[in-house]
Amino acid sequence: MTVRWAALDSRRRAVYKRGPLHTTPGLETVAMHTAQHLEPRPYLLHNRIQPYEWGGRGPGAFIPRLLGIEPEPGRPYAELWIGAHPSAPSQVELGGRLVPLPDAIARQPDDLLGPAVVARFGASLPFLLKVLSAARPLSIQVHPNGAQAECLHARDPEHYPDPNHKPEIAIALDGLSALAGLKPFAGIVEALERTPELAELAGPALARELVAGAGASPAEQQALVRRLFGALVACATAHEAALAAALQRLEQRLRSQARPLASDEALFLDLRAEYPDPDIGLLAIFLLNQVHLQAGQGLYIAAGVPHAYLGGNIVECMAASDNVVRAGLTPKF
C-alpha cells in the first residue's frame, strides 16, 4: 500500500497542481526549471506501509488515523516508510508521473539532496524516516555497526538486505514502552540472585563469578556479562528442553507469589502468554532496562544495543538500513 506525503523543498514554497498520474521507471517527463535542474517547489511523495503482524489493526489503528485513510479489515498497519531504501522506496510525483525516489535522486542528486549531502554520502538519501505503530511487542533485536553490516550483507543478502549500519532515534508520538540496553552490572547480578531459573541456565559457576564481580573493573564486568549472554544463547540452542523447563518453573513460581511482582517479573508473565514456546528472549527481559516514554520524549539506539519496542506509536529516524539481528521474542530468523 502506498500513501501520499509532501516533501518540501527548502528554497521556497509553491502550490502543487495535481493532474492524472502515471507510473514510470524513468525521468523522461519531469517538471523542470531548466534542462538540468528540478523546479524548486514541494514535491509529493507516495510512501509504503509495511503490514508486519505486530502493527495496529481496525478503526483504532494509528497509521490510518494519522493519514486520514480507511483501514482495511484485518490488515496490520505497522510502519510507514518515507525514504529511498530499496526494500520499500517512496515514489515522487514529477511531471504527472510517479517516479521511484532513488531514481529521481540518482538523476538530480544536487537538487534533491544538496551538494553538501552528495559530497559526504554520494547520490543516495542517507537516512530513512518511519512512523512505527506497535500494537504488540517487536522482537528483541540488535543492529550491526558498519563493518558487521558489510560482512552480514555479503554473506546473507536475503536476511541482511544492505551493507549499512543502523543507529536510530525514536520519538514517542503518544507514549512508548520498550526494552533498551543492558541493566547496570549490579542490576544484572540482582536479577540473577532473585531468578534462580536464570542462574541455573547460565551455570552455577558463572553465576557465582557474576555475584562476586561487584568489585571487578568495568572491563572485567563487561566480559562477565558477555559470557552470561553467550551461556544463555548456547543453552537455548543446544538444550531447548532445559530452557522450556526453566521457563515453565519460572512461570509457575511467579504466578504463585503473594508479594507484588517486580516490573520485569510482571512483564515476563505478560509476554509468556504471547510466546508460550521456548524463547530465550523471555529471560533477556530480566537483563534489559525497561523504558517508558511520554509523548515528545526520545530514545537513541546505537549499533550493538539490544532493544525491543513493546507498544506505542513513534516516529523513527535511522541510517538508510533494514538490517536486524534478532535475539529473542520471535520465531523469525
SS3 (DSSP) at 262: coil
Q: What sign does the CA torsion over 238, 265, 77, 317 have?
A: negative
Per-residue model confidence (pLDDT) at position 332: 65
Q: Are 160 and 152 in contact (CB under 8 A)?
A: yes
Per-residue model confidence (pLDDT) at position 119: 96
What's the CA gap between 152 and 161, in Å, rounded?
Answer: 9
Per-residue model confidence (pLDDT) at position 2: 63
Per-residue model confidence (pLDDT) at position 8: 38
Per-residue model confidence (pLDDT) at position 96: 86
What's the CA gap between 80 and 83, in Å, rounded?
Answer: 10
What's the CA gap between 44 and 40, in Å, rounded?
Answer: 13
Pick the catalytic residue from 65, 75, 136, 326.
326
Per-residue model confidence (pLDDT) at position 145: 79
What's the CA gap between 329 and 308, in Å, rounded?
Answer: 9
Cβ neighbours around 307 below 10 Å, total: 23
Active-site residue 13, yes or no?
no
Write down all domains in the chain, each with its CATH number in brackets: 2-136 (2.60.120.10), 182-288 (1.10.441)
Per-residue model confidence (pLDDT) at position 218: 94
What's the CA gap between 246 and 197, in Å, rounded?
Answer: 6
Per-residue pLDDT of the chain (333 residues; tens, 9 = 90+): 666 655 534 333 333 334 445 454 444 444 443 345 777 778 899 999 999 999 999 999 999 999 999 999 999 999 999 999 999 999 999 888 999 999 999 999 999 999 999 999 999 999 999 999 999 999 999 888 778 878 878 888 888 878 777 889 999 999 999 999 999 999 999 999 999 999 999 999 999 999 999 899 999 999 999 899 889 888 888 889 999 999 999 999 999 999 999 999 999 999 999 999 999 999 999 999 999 999 999 999 998 899 999 999 999 999 988 877 777 887 664
Per-residue model confidence (pLDDT) at position 164: 77
